[in-house]
Structures are given as C-alpha cells and as structure tokens.
Amino acid sequence: MAESTAKRPNPSKSNNNKSRKRQRVEKSSQTGRSNASKEPAKRQKVRLNELAWKDVDMPDRLDDFEGFYGLEEIDDVDVVRDETTGVISFESSESKLAKDVPEPTGDAEEVGQDEDDGDDDEAGSWGGFSDAEENGHDTDNAGEVVDNELSEAIDSVPQAKAKEGKKDADGAKGKTKKNKKEQKKLQEAELATNGPSAFEILAEQADDDEEDEGVDVSAWEELDLSTETLGALSKLKFTRPTAIQSSAIPEILAGHDVIGKASTGSGKTLAFGIPILESYLASRDEVKKNKAPLAMIISPTRELAHQISAHLTALCTGKTFDAPYIATITGGLSVQKQRRQLETADIIVGTPGRLWEVISSGHGVLDSFKKIKFLVVDEADRLLSQGHYKELGEIINVLEKDDDFDPEDEVDDSKPVIEVNRQTLVFSATFHKGLQQKLAGKGPKGGELMNKQESMEYLLKKLHFREEKPKFIDANPTAQMASGLKEGLVECAGTEKDLFLYSVLMFHPKKRALIFTNSIAAVRRLTPFLQNLDLPALALHSGMLQKARLRSVERFKSRAGSILVATDVAARGLDIPGVELIVHYHLPRAADTYVHRSGRTARAEASGSSILICAPEEVAGVRRLVAKVHAKTQPSKSKKTAFFIRTLDIDRRIVSRLKPRATLAKKLADAVIAKEKKHSENDWMRAAAEDLGVEYDSETFEAEAKGKRGRGAGRKKKEKEAQGMTKAEMQGLRAELKSLLAQRINTGVSERYLTSGGIDVEKLLQGSGNLGFLGDIGGLGMDDEE
Ligand SMILES: Nc1ncnc2c1ncn2[C@@H]1O[C@H](COP(=O)(O)OP(=O)(O)OP(=O)(O)O)[C@@H](O)[C@H]1O
C-alpha cells in the first residue's frame, strides 16, 4: 500500500470546509542524510503520519479555497535514500512523534514511494486542473466541451483527504477511533467542496441531530433492505421509494442487469446506489479482503461524478455502519494520487477519460477493476453518444480481456473474453428512441451493427451484459419530464428577447432561476444586463476561470432568489434544491437538451416552470421539439394537432413599461463589453505590431478598416458607438436607470387601480407583489388545448 503522508488532514479542525488543505513535508535532503549527523543516536525510522505536525497559520479567505487551508509543517525530519535500492525512508527524533498514533510498521519502501508520489501530486494538483485526457476528449466533441469544463470547475475537491482518512481508518490492526473520525470528516470535506446539494443538506441534518430518530420508512419494507440501509434512509428522511427505485432495486438485488429510464430528478442515483450499498454491507469483509472495488460508476462529467459521490456518501452518513470508501476519479488531480485512492476504494465514481488514463498507466489497477461486481453507466445516452464513448468503450474492452493489457495494443476483438461476472446497470432520463423500442422488445430485431460511431445500440452491445436480455425498466413510459414541471413559451420579436427575459423574471419575483443560452457571448452580455436592472444574476460558462465558476455555483446554491445565466454546461446533473424557474433564452438544440435543461427544476416531486423565449420564426420548431418530447403523453393526437405547450399571455402593456429600463440596462452592458473588447483587441494588435516590428497606431488601423463595409457592418457601427461612450455619458445613463428603477411601474389596469397605490415591480421583487395583475400566467402548463 502506498500511503500518502505528504498531505494529511488536520483532525483538530472541526470545520472541514475550511480545513480543506494541502500539507507539505519540509525535506532536508532528497539524496542523503544531511541532518542525520545532528543526533544520530536518538533518531528512528518514522512514518510521516506519526509525526506531530504543526498548523501553519493561513488567512481565512475563500480565495485559498483550492488547497491552501490547513497547511501543516514539520521540521527535523530526514529523508533517507538507500543508495543501493533507491528506497526512501524517514528518520526523526522521538520528540517529533505524535502521542496517539499506532506503532510504525517500518515499511520503508511504501513510505518512500509515498513521498515521491506526494511531490508529484503537488505538481499535479497545482497544474491548473488541466486534464489532458479529458481535454482531448473535449476537443473531439466541441459542442460538448462545456460540460466537462464545468466538471473541471468543481474538480478542486482534495480527494486525497478522504483517501487519507480512509487509509488511516483501514490502517491494518491499528484502526483507532480517531482514524475513523478522520475518515468521516474527510469524506464530509469532499462533500462540502461541491456545496450543499439536497443530499448533503440532508446528510448534515441526519448527522447534526443525533437525537433525531428519522422518519418512518415502512414504505421501503417491501424492498427487503437491511436495517442499516433503512436507518440511513430514515435519517435522510426519504419516507418512500420513488417509482424508479421501487422498480429497479428488487431487480438489481436479484442479480439482474438493468437499464433504467426515469424522469429527471426522480432519484435514479439511489436506484443503483442502494443495491450497491446493500451488496457492500452483505460482503464488506470480502470486499476489503479482495482489495478490489465493489462497484465502478461512470459519469459523463466530473461535476456529475462528484455529485454522485456526494449522494452516496450522504446515504452512508448514518453512523450505524462503517461506510464504504468512495473514490472520485476525475481530472484535476494527479494520476499517482488517484492510483493510491484506488488501492482502498470500495466504490469508484469517475469520468471515462480519467478512468482510462488510470487504467492505461498500468500499475495493476486493471486486475482489481476486473473484479468489480457492478458497472454503472449513468447518463448513459450522453456517455454512449458520439465523442464520449471512446474511453468508455476502451475501458469495457480491457475489463473483459483475459490477457495482459498493453495500452499500445490495438484492441483485438478476437482475443478471449472473460466470463462477465458483474452486473451492468445503465441509467438515464432520455434514451434514443429506436434503442428504447428495442430494449422494450417492441422494435425490429436483428443483429446488424449500425454506424459504429453513432449507434448507442452498438455501444450497449459493447457493455457485455451478463444476461442476454437486461431488464429494461421504464419508470415513466409516457414522460421524460418531471410531473411537477409546467411548460410555457413566450413569443416576442428576436430583437426583444432581452426585454422579455427581464419581463419573465419580473413576473417571477424572487424565484431561483436558471437561464440557458447557447453561447458564452450571450452569458457575458446577459449577466451584466440583468445586474444593471438590480437582479442578482451570476454567470456560468466554460470560458470562466475555475474559481469564478465555483463561486457562481456556490452562490447560486446558497442564495435564495439568485439567477444563474449559463450555457448548457449546467444542463445535466446539477442538483440544486429550490430552482423554481428555467428560462430557455436560446432554444435548446435538441429534444434531450430540452429535457435535461428543464430537469434542473421540479426535482424530487417539487414543482417548477420551464419557459422558452421564442422569436416568431422559432415557434414552429419549438412546438415540434416539445411535441417530440411529449409524444407519448398524447398518443391519440396526430402530430399536426398535438400542442403541448401554451403560449404565455404576458401583459404587453407592462412589458412596454419595462422597456425604458431594459433599453438603458442593455446600452450600459453593451458599452462595458465593447470597451473591454476594444482593450483586448488593442492589446492584441499592439502585440502583433511589436512582433512585426511596426509602430501600432490604432487610429490608422481603424481608418483603414473604415472603408471596408461588409457583413456585420451595422453591428460594428453600434459597437463603435458603445466603445466611444464617455465616462460622463455612462454615469448619466446609470443615473437615469437608477431613477427609473426607483419609480413604480403601474400595471395599467385602470387609473383607479393606479391611484390606489397599484402594484409595482419593486414590490414584486421584494416578494410582496400580487401576481394577479400579471394576467394569465396560471395557464403555464401541460395543457394540450390551445
Ligand atoms: N426516495 C426518495 N425520497 C425523496 N427524495 C428522494 C428520494 N430519492 C432521491 N431523492 C431526492 O431526489 C433528488 C434527485 O435525485 P437524483 O439526482 O438521483 O435524480 P436523477 O433521477 O438522477 O436526476 P437527473 O436525471 O436530472 O440526473 C435528490 O435531491 C434527492 O434528494
């Protein structure tokens, strides 16, 4: 076991959020025993986690979130390398030893290896979270970059912490209570990094209140779960299983392969998580003895992988049993560190790119992976779609080959395939239609392979189910959308989308809202536009810096009523409690994107609204898209007559009263962006001119460009005007906007109403307005009658 002691937790810190940190060994020498001469007689071999590490004071700032908290140091430790074997060990005086650690085993080789790896890890972790494998993966699939980029944002979780805690807890016979506590703390630290999801909040509640007896879970009894699992569910206050849980859990417990489909937010994670926990509880001694993980859960993005880990960890935070160690294997941490995590992992959750990287770097992980009992493919349609399946396909291939693996080898399908002993579980809210029919046994049979690049069926075939026909469970055969979701569309001129976005938000005051756009530029523009209008808007897109992305997600989670303007980076997997409104500022490019975007609200039987803002020419396409999504809910309707989405009757008089502020806010936002753009363009031109050895004169460049009128000339003219806006002009606009925002917006319902005080937007924003004045918004919904 290669224990990492270069970084270790600080058990004295109770707040794991703050104690997420890196530690460092102060090495006196890498090559010899330079300090050994000081007190040679009293020195002894030590392991680094036996030492009395000292806290290094660090400023208590969020900026240090990514790892500096809780730096610890130790001095007077010699790093000794055996000249012949190259093995590294550590020596120190007795006084440096902490009092309450088990006796050292004297396993110099392992310690030495750890130290080397620890250094590598530092470099790896600080390397900007770039994950070569996953970045490569991204470029294969430009349209999908954003999701992986988001995962990257959330990937600063110092998993080594959890790992170390786990290792301490597993530390042979010297397993102490303290170590167990550390393990738990560290796993919680990992949870905390992603901010409180519903699971985390629930787990915290379960943990905080030891007196809390939990809730009645008799509704789970028919699933025949262990008392430990029932206890955990009770603490999470999950009174009854969801539909997919009721259907899938017994099949998985009975040993079947399962393909599960259920609406977004309907509890699919626990549908496979509970049987995995049951299996762990039933065989934990064997699992530990095998030194192989029990389950491998593959997720398309890092963010989702962390969320699944958090969810499963929350399930195991009930204090009634020794929790399994869950390792999250995604980009952003060094491969060495992750290999060490894998050594004691009971459950692995990872992204295919990094998992493949770990496997293909050798070191025997493949052998232990071959012993897994559960292979879970979450968000399967995404994982198995073009551009994402490559590594997954490779992982599955090598898991099944009964020979030595060489990453350089071409995959040879004729090589022997080992008998598949694991269960394969595949889950998603959306599945390719043809595949779904086939899985349900309704479609045409036949074994011809389709287009290998695109066919999910081909890949499912590749999954090598243990059973000839996996159980296909469709928990919501007629709907992919959550039942508590209301859908509507707002039609407006393409040039007025900003105004209508503002209006829709004003019609939903103080609601936590997620606005989807199809471009980073739109996020960059809309966020300041809304902020200028005094709305608490946050941005999220793949072009943002890591810290800024994290901050946006955190703030969106923690601040009620905040508004997140995002690209499809946020479409899948984000489980943020209390999102009440989804606005599609740009139309989703595909039906499944619509389902997943809209699925960020109305989760776990909550309700929520999803509103599309469409230009007139987009309406027909939207109706087709929505009809496609709801095709099964209205089977009797012909395609031509099936309307599933209602046009929202927004009172245009009110919209027109909002227009002056929206126009000013847009003008200001555009001016700031145009000025920023000019700055960066100037910088670029200057640098280019310097490279060419010519003088840069922006006015000459502009004069030359002037004559060339071509496409986008109008936009450029506007941009130029915005760039030319003086500071004083901008201040004037701001003052004007401020005064507009301070004024009441009358509803225009009647003079009498107006003079009696009426209802104003400010009040609405404060959450005290009367929505009645807004007209027919109660009509939002699945009504099929237009
Ligand atoms: N049995 C249950 N009772 C109540 N709430 C539950 C139950 N199981 C899960 N949940 C809650 O449901 C929410 C959604 O669960 P989960 O993330 O697994 O959904 P999902 O089906 O995977 O969604 P998506 O398809 O969008 O990824 C979670 O916040 C969780 O707290």
CA of 427 to the centre of ligand 1 (A): 13
| Ligand 1 atom index nearest CA of 269 | 18
CA of 480 to the centre of ligand 1 (A): 14
> Looking at per-residue confidence, does 383 or 37 come out higher?
383
Give the ranges where 455-532 is alpha helix by DSSP (H). 456-462, 497-507, 520-532
CA of 456 to the centre of ligand 1 (A): 25
Which residue, chain included where needed, has tokens 């399967």?
Answer: 380
Residue 534 is encoded by which pair of tokens?
Answer: 């005094």
Give backbone dihedrals phi and psi of 89, rounded to 5 degrees, phi first.
-140, 175
Q: Whose CA is nearest to atom 23 of ligand 1?
A: 265
Pocket probe mutation, ligand 1, options 268, 430, 592, max atoms within 8 Å of Cβ:
268
CA-to-CA dists, residue 648 to 498, 503, 504, 532, 750, angstroms: 16, 12, 10, 26, 22
Give the model's pLDDT for residue 281: 92
> Looking at per-residue confidence, does 103 or 208 come out higher?
208
CA of 269 to the centre of ligand 1 (A): 7
Pocket probe mutation, ligand 1, options 245, 473, 575, 605, max atoms within 8 Å of Cβ:
575
Pocket probe mutation, ligand 1, options 270, 274, 308, 476, max atoms within 8 Å of Cβ:
270
Give the model's pLDDT for residue 359: 85
| Ligand 1 atom index nearest CA of 599 | 26
Give the model's pLDDT for residue 385: 67
CA of 487 to the centre of ligand 1 (A): 21
449-460 pLDDT tens trace: 233 334 455 556
Asked if residues 671 and 718 have their Cβ atoms less than 8 Å apart, the reply is no
- The mean pLDDT value of the chain amounts to 68
CA of 613 to the centre of ligand 1 (A): 28
Give the model's pLDDT for residue 16: 38
Mean pLDDT throughout 382-406? 71
**What percentage of the chain reaches a pLDDT higher than 90?**
25
Q: Whose CA is nearest to atom 14 of ligand 1?
A: 265
Residue 170 scores a pLDDT above 90: no
Whether ipTM exceeds 0.95: yes
H or E element in which residue 383 lies = helix 380-383
Give the model's pLDDT for residue 146: 29
Residues with CB under 6 A from ligand 1: 198-199, 238, 241-242, 245, 262, 264-270, 429, 573, 575, 599, 603-604
> Looking at per-residue confidence, does 289 or 539 come out higher?
539
Residue 196 scores a pLDDT above 90: no
Lowest-pLDDT range of 120-124, 216-220, 727-731 = 120-124
Burial class for 694, CB neighbours closer than 10 Å (0-12, 13-18, 19+): exposed
E strands within 94-144? none
pLDDT grade for 240, boundaries at 50, 70 and 90: very high
Give backbone dihedrals phi and psi of 554, rounded to 5 degrees, phi first.
-60, -45
> Looking at per-residue confidence, does 317 or 735 come out higher?
735
Give the model's pLDDT for residue 433: 59
Domain with CATH 3.40.50.300 in the chain: 223-403+419-439+452-474, 485-634+642-650
96-101 long-range contacts (CB < 8 A, ≥24 apart) are 96/46, 96/51, 96/52, 97/46, 97/50, 97/51, 97/52, 98/50, 98/51, 98/52, 98/53, 99/52, 100/176, 100/178, 101/49, 101/50, 101/174
> Looking at per-residue confidence, does 95 or 723 come out higher?
723
Mean pLDDT throughout 597-610? 89
Give the model's pLDDT for residue 115: 24
Give the model's pLDDT for residue 710: 55
Q: Angle 305-306-307 (CA atoms, 0-180°, nearest 5)? A: 90
CA of 263 to the centre of ligand 1 (A): 10
pLDDT grade for 473, boundaries at 50, 70 and 90: confident
| Ligand 1 atom index nearest CA of 197 | 29
Q: What is the CATH number of domain 223-403+419-439+452-474?
A: 3.40.50.300
Give the model's pLDDT for residue 472: 84
Residue 312 scores a pLDDT above 70: yes
Give the model's pLDDT for residue 431: 74
Q: Whose CA is nearest to atom 1 of ligand 1?
A: 241
Other CB atoms within 10 Å distance of the CB of residue 420: 18
| Ligand 1 atom index nearest CA of 241 | 1
Residue 90 scores a pLDDT above 90: no
358-369 pLDDT tens trace: 888 776 778 888
pLDDT grade for 346, boundaries at 50, 70 and 90: very high
Mean pLDDT throughout 443-448? 35
Residue 126 scores a pLDDT above 60: no
Mean pLDDT throughout 514-543? 94
Q: What dihedral angle (degrees, nearest 10) is formed by the CA atoms of 521, 522, 523, 528?
A: 100
Q: Whose CA is nearest to atom 15 of ligand 1?
A: 267
CA quadruple 776, 777, 778, 783: dihedral positive or negative? positive
Pocket probe mutation, ligand 1, options 197, 222, 229, 238, max atoms within 8 Å of Cβ:
238
Mean pLDDT throughout 57-64? 34
Residue 89 scores a pLDDT above 50: yes
Residue 416 scores a pLDDT above 70: no
Domain 485-634+642-650 listed as CATH 3.90.1150.10: no
Give the model's pLDDT for residue 503: 93
376-391 pLDDT tens trace: 999 877 777 656 677 8
Give the model's pLDDT for residue 307: 85
Residue 402 scores a pLDDT above 50: yes
Q: DSSP letters of 602-661?
A: S-TT--EEEEEEE-HHHHHHHHHHHHHHTGGG-TTS-TTT----EEPEE-HHHHHHHHHH
pLDDT grade for 529, boundaries at 50, 70 and 90: very high
Q: Whose CA is nearest to atom 24 of ligand 1?
A: 264
> Looking at per-residue confidence, does 190 or 48 come out higher?
48
Residue 415 scores a pLDDT above 90: no
End-to-end CA distance of the chain: 66
242-292 pLDDT tens trace: 999 999 999 999 999 998 888 888 899 999 999 999 999 998 877 777 778
Residue 137 scores a pLDDT above 60: no
Give the model's pLDDT for residue 92: 73
> Looking at per-residue confidence, does 378 or 18 come out higher?
378
Asked if residues 354 and 133 have their Cβ atoms less than 8 Å apart, the reply is yes
Mean pLDDT throughout 445-451? 33
Query: CA–CA separation, 167 vs 182, rounded Å?
Result: 10
> Looking at per-residue confidence, does 204 or 687 come out higher?
687
CA of 469 to the centre of ligand 1 (A): 27
Pocket probe mutation, ligand 1, options 239, 266, 306, 379, max atoms within 8 Å of Cβ:
266
> Looking at per-residue confidence, does 71 or 391 come out higher?
391
pLDDT grade for 436, boundaries at 50, 70 and 90: low
CA of 620 to the centre of ligand 1 (A): 33
Q: Whose CA is nearest to atom 26 of ligand 1?
A: 264
Pocket probe mutation, ligand 1, options 603, 605, 607, 610, max atoms within 8 Å of Cβ:
603
CA of 414 to the centre of ligand 1 (A): 41
Give the model's pLDDT for residue 156: 28
Residue 62 scores a pLDDT above 60: no
